[in-house]
Chains A and B, each alone.
Chain A
Amino acid sequence: MATNIDETVLSYLRLASENRYWLAALCLVISIATLTAATFWPKTYTASSSIFADNSNILGPLMAGRAVTTEIVDQARMAQDILFSREYRDIILEASGADPARMTEPQKEQMIAGIQGRTTIENQGRGRANLIVISHTDEDPVRAFRVTQRYTTLFIEQSAISKQAESRAAFEFIEDQVASYQAKLQDSENRLSQFKTANNFGTLANANNRIAGYQAGIENIDIALTQLDSQIVSVRAQLEGEAEVSRDISEVNAIRSRINSLQLQLDTLRARYHDTYPDVVQVKNQIADLQEMLDSGRVGTTTLGSGFDVGVTTLHQELRSRLAALITERESQLTQRNGIVSLLLAEEERARRINESEAELAELTRDYNVTQDFYNNLLLRLENARVSMHLDEQQQGITFKIQESAVIPTQPDGYGFSQLMMGSLVLSLGAPFGLIFMMLQLDPRVRSENTGWSDDWPLLIGTVPQYYGKRSILRSNGVYVSIFTLLLVFTYGAFWYWNNVG
């Protein structure tokens, strides 16, 4: 490793010695170029001011959750958007020393673009989001100061106005939304009401209860009919066993007997139903017909219903009466059953329609509920926005104070000439060595056993060092190094004098 370092150093020195004129020239050229650039490069000056956004007002915590103050982070961006707008273009141009009245539009645009490009409005660092810094860079320090100052005053003025406008706009927007949702809620309510009115079939539970009742009634009637049938069969059997006696009961008596029987039946029905009930009506009609027959004298040859025979013995008569009553009862039951069946069918139809309308009712109800919730929410927000708007109108939210006002900069931006001079020296000395390094790295030519030597070649049995005769490598270059050093010192000295004294 040491050998490699020695060889490398020797290679450097040798290459530098062989190309000393070029390297010296390169060094001087770089020095002069960089020093010239450092001397004549246009200097810029930056003026800046800082603005403190104070949102520590006592109302803040009191109104927390009920009012919103504009975020600090947005302020810098908002300010930039406002201040860079066309509205303030002429004001800024005047502050920079231009006369907008004598400038054409393209000139104004070009100039303002340049000013805005050199102006920054931003929050100052981490943890200090409430400190806004406005800075402007210009070749003229006075101009930099004026533009910065103008931007600062405009920022303060416009921030308050824009805050109020923002909160008012927010309030008006929410107000519009409230009105819109109010209309929607009303509409939803109307639709629901109309639907309920058009589909008042009652509840499904009631319908099911009635259906169950009707079905129970039909079953009871069927049971009663079965009993009646058996009784009728029994009475008929008895009647067949009885001898027929003379017909001492006149047809009138028969009719009267029938009427009495119907009357009993009617009483029974009335005890359970209204007079408008079909069975009741039917019995009443039958009574009326029989009474009419009695009154009109059409009794005699008229058959008084099937199974009702006249001219029988008292027992036979009683049996016949009983049979007639049974038959009548059976018919009544049948009539009643038919009535209940029709009611049952109607109720089942209603239940089906109730089912169909349930889904639509649920949807309408949901729509109404959602709209109502949203409307209530918007009402709450509207009140919050109203309070925020009043806060901004009375400037009880964020206030802006100039923390550090702009001053005329006395020192230019960037590095001083001394630092640039050092940089130039480093570059001018480093570049040649860098060049030599690259040459040594990239040059494939053989310089020693350690650089590019191949194992296929014969053995290296010796190295002849450089024969300088009477002088060493340093001494042979001593004069040149001295002259070069003097030139370099003179160059840097001249430029330093020019920049600092001249």
Chain B
Amino acid sequence: MSETEVKKQKFVIIDTAQQMAANREVAVGKVTRRISHSAVAEQQVDIDLPVQPGRIERIPTELLARHKVIHPTMEDQDVLNSFRLLRLSLQSKLQRVNSSLVVSSVVSGGGASFVSANLAAAFAMDKQCHALLMDCNLGRPTQSKTYDVPEAPGMCEFLRGSENSVKDIIKHSRVPRLSVVPGGQFLEDGVPEDFTGDRFPQLIKEVTGRYEDRITILDCPPILDSAYTKVIAGHCDAVLLVIPYNQVTPGRIDKTVKEFGRDRIIGCIINN
């Protein structure tokens, strides 16, 4: 696709916070409010975004739209902005860029995978930042499908010891600056949830220490439904608690906060 043709594409100019205006996002072309039709949107399989003169990034918009992951040209700007604001908020709270952040919901199906996938995409939109998304929800791994990466080898294989190289379990997704560690494949004889061993801390240490501009986001199951979430959180820098809209009682939130420890939780978000 030529640059001219790209320019004819409809772009949405994001006018949000000051941080976004300061060389964090691309603002190209004219402002157009899209009156979308499903057919038009689906025609956009991949778009090329010019990030700077001579440089183009390809975004798999169809894949992302299908899995409800944000991308710069998406129609629903409210969702996009909400994750951008969340990213900015986390960046201001985390002490360093290469932090490890656990994303966990209060209940199963509360949207932790959705939030972690989108949060990783939001960090990846920042040209100064990379994101590594680790699928620790071994009971229901979804990130490999979301980002269309091979399911194995992944976390299970690494923890089992059948895969020793961290590099081999990190998969580069089609989204620029976003990598994924899939959940891996369970064996029929049991779930190798051996997060209590040495391998997981080793993994965290390596992935967070390798690049200074890469944030590691861990998609974990609810702490009240899974024992190893607490173990994972113990090795990470912070926890982001996802509260699904109109699904949990205050009592359950109290228990979750108590399990994690209030000081460890960097913040909460309500997932509508």
Contact = CB atoms under 8 A, between A and B. Distances in A.
Interface of A: 11, 14-15, 443-449, 452, 454, 456-470
A458 B266 contact: yes
B267 A470 contact: no
A454 B253 contact: yes
B86 interface: yes
B267 A462 contact: yes
Given A456-B262, A457-B257, A470-B41, A448 B65 contact: no
B76 A468 contact: yes
Interface in B66-117: 68, 75-76, 78-79, 82-83, 85-86, 89-90, 93, 111, 114-115
B271 interface: yes
B86 A461 contact: yes
Contacts of A464: 79, 82-83, 86, 111, 114-115, 118, 269-272
A494 B36 CA distance: 39
B248 interface: yes
A460 B248 CA distance: 15
Contact of B253 (A447, A449, A457): A457
B268 to A, nearest CB: 5
Nearest to B265: A458
Interface string B247-259: 1111001100100
Interface size class of B (residues with CB under 8 A): 35 or more
B122 to A, nearest CB: 11
A325 B269 CA distance: 154
Contact of B245 (A447, A462, A468): A447
A378 to B, nearest CB: 86
Given A458-B241, A467-B79, 6 more contacts: A447-B246, A457-B257, A463-B82, A464-B79, A469-B76, A470-B36
Nearest to A15: B246
Interface centre among A456, A459, A460, A463 (most CB of B within 10 A): A463
Contacts of B36: 470
A469 B68 contact: yes
A443 B250 CA distance: 11
B181 interface: no
A54 B88 CA distance: 92
Contact of B75 (A443, A463, A470): A470
Given A464-B79, A464-B82, A469-B76, A458 B268 contact: yes
B73 to A, nearest CB: 13
Listed from nearest, the 6 A-B pairs whose CB atoms lie closest are A461-B267, A462-B86, A462-B269, A458-B265, A466-B272, A465-B78
B267 to A, nearest CB: 3
Contact of A460 (B65, B250, B270): B270
Contacts of B248: 445-446
17 contacts: A15-B246, A443-B246, A444-B250, A446-B253, A447-B270, A454-B254, A456-B254, A461-B266, A462-B82, A462-B89, A463-B272, A464-B79, A464-B83, A465-B79, A466-B245, A467-B79, A468-B76
Interface of B: 36, 38, 41, 65, 68, 75-76, 78-79, 82-83, 85-86, 89-90, 93, 111, 114-115, 118, 241, 243, 245-250, 253-254, 257, 262, 265-272
A59 B120 CA distance: 106
Nearest to A449: B270
A467 B270 contact: no
B38 A467 contact: no
A462 to B, nearest CB: 4
B215 to A, nearest CB: 16
A458 B254 CA distance: 10
Nearest to B65: A469
A445 B110 CA distance: 13
A456 B267 contact: no
A297 to B, nearest CB: 157
Contacts of B247: 445
A199 B90 CA distance: 126
B79 to A, nearest CB: 5
A449 B253 CA distance: 13
Contact of B68 (A452, A459, A467): A467
A48 B250 CA distance: 64
B37 to A, nearest CB: 8
Given A458-B257, A460-B269, A464-B270, A446 B249 contact: yes
Nearest to B76: A467
A464 to B, nearest CB: 5
A14 B75 CA distance: 20
Nearest to A443: B246
A464 B267 CA distance: 14
Given A454-B253, A458-B262, A470-B38, A445 B246 contact: yes
B76 A446 contact: no
B66 to A, nearest CB: 9
